Amino acid sequence: MKQIHTIIGKEWTDMVHNKLVLYLLILLPLLMTALPVALLYFMGKAPVNQQDMEEMGRLLANPIFGGMSPAETMQSAMASTMLILFLMMPLAVPVTIAAYSIVGEKVEHSLEPLLATPITTTQLLLGKSIAASAPAIVITWFCYVVFLIFARLFSVSDRVFNTFVNPMWLIAMLLLVPLLTIMAVSVGIIISSRSTDPRAAEQLGALVVFPLMAFFLGTMAGFILLNTTTFLLTSAIVALLDVGLVYAGVALFQRETILTRWK
């Protein structure tokens, strides 16, 4: 436990001293929060007519918008869809940190002395995973709270605001966000320990966002309905993926290959 704690402390201290990573940690979530807030604000002001409603028929057929006026439905639907960005946040933020975590130490030659210490592969990877995951989860939750504060101000009615704190979004935030973060970090660490170039590792790591982009587009097009079942099902799938990825991460971390592949 002490070893894991030391690795987490080291990663965080290093993160704080690395301005680029720090800006990435702060800037990206801020932008991702600003987007749904802006949409919420402008949708609340925009006039909605029947033609708009018909064009977005499939999206608005979601029962969670039942009993709402056209203006409420439109504001709630658009902002809800944009809330998917809060699920991208835990993917986009930690994956670059995780992707750099091993290969970065390789290129800075600090991995060899680290591996020479009495630390197990599981302790090392767990420490690095927690160090990359925890800030991403906390920042996502913080941004969600910020969004809720603005939602309280800009929602045209209580019914609209309630759609952002319904069980579906609470499951998404409290269950799916941590699970997605673990997935992103595990993928990042696997890429990092198999890669020889930090830039390539970061680029490859960014690809983890793509499945969620597809999910996002699917909801926008109305092919995927945002509801509690969808999020519970997605959580179950991601949890299974996480178990496999964590095992794969430890199995694929070959100390000897990593050290001797250095150039």
Partner 1 sequence: MAEFALEMRNLTKRFGNNLAVDGVNLAILHGEVFGFLGPNGAGKTTTVRMLACLIAPSSGEARVNGHKVGVDDMQIRREVGILTETPGLYERLSARLNLEIYAKLYGVKDVAGQVERYLRLLELWDRRNDNAGTFSKGMRQKLAIARALLHEPPVLFLDEPTAALDPSAAKTVRDFIETLRGEGRTIFLCTHNLDEAERLCDRIAVFRQRLIAVDTPDALRRQLFGRQVAVRLRTANPAFEQAVRGLDFVQSLSAQDSEMQIQLTDPEAQTPLIVRRLVEAGADVQYVAEVKHSLEDVYLSLVNGGSAQRGGVQ
Task: State the residues that interact with partner 1 by CB under 8 A.
Answer: 2-3, 6, 9-10, 13-14, 17-18, 108-120, 255-256, 259-260
Structure token pair of residue 34: 């600003």
Q: Which is nearer to partner 1, 69 or 257 (CB)?
A: 257
Question: Which residue's CB is nearer to partner 1, number 81 or number 101?
Answer: 101
Which residue number, 49 or 117, has a Cβ lying nearer to partner 1? Answer: 117
Nearer Cβ to partner 1 (9/244): 9
Q: How far is the CB of 124 from partner 1 (least distance, A)?
A: 10
DSSP per residue, 30-79: HHHHHHHHHHHHHHHHS---HHHHHHTHHHHT-GGGTT--HHHHHHHHHH
Instruction: Tell how far CA 98 is from the center of its chain.
Output: 13
For 41, residues 6+ apart whose C-beta sits below 8 A from its C-beta are: 150, 154
Measured between alpha carbons, how far is residue 80 from residues 34, 60, 141, 209 in Å? 14, 11, 16, 19
Q: How far is the CB of 28 from partner 1 (least distance, A)?
A: 21
CB 256 → partner 1: shortest distance, Å? 4
Residues 6+ positions from 94 with CB-CB distance below 8 Å: 132, 133, 135, 136, 181, 184, 185, 188
Closer CB to partner 1, residue 56 or residue 102? 102
Q: Which is nearer to partner 1, 67 or 113 (CB)?
A: 113
Which residues have CB under 8 Å from 171's CB, separation 6+? 228, 231, 232, 235
Please name the residue that has the structure tokens 């830039």: 199
Q: Is 22 helix (H, G, I), strand (E, B) or coil?
A: helix
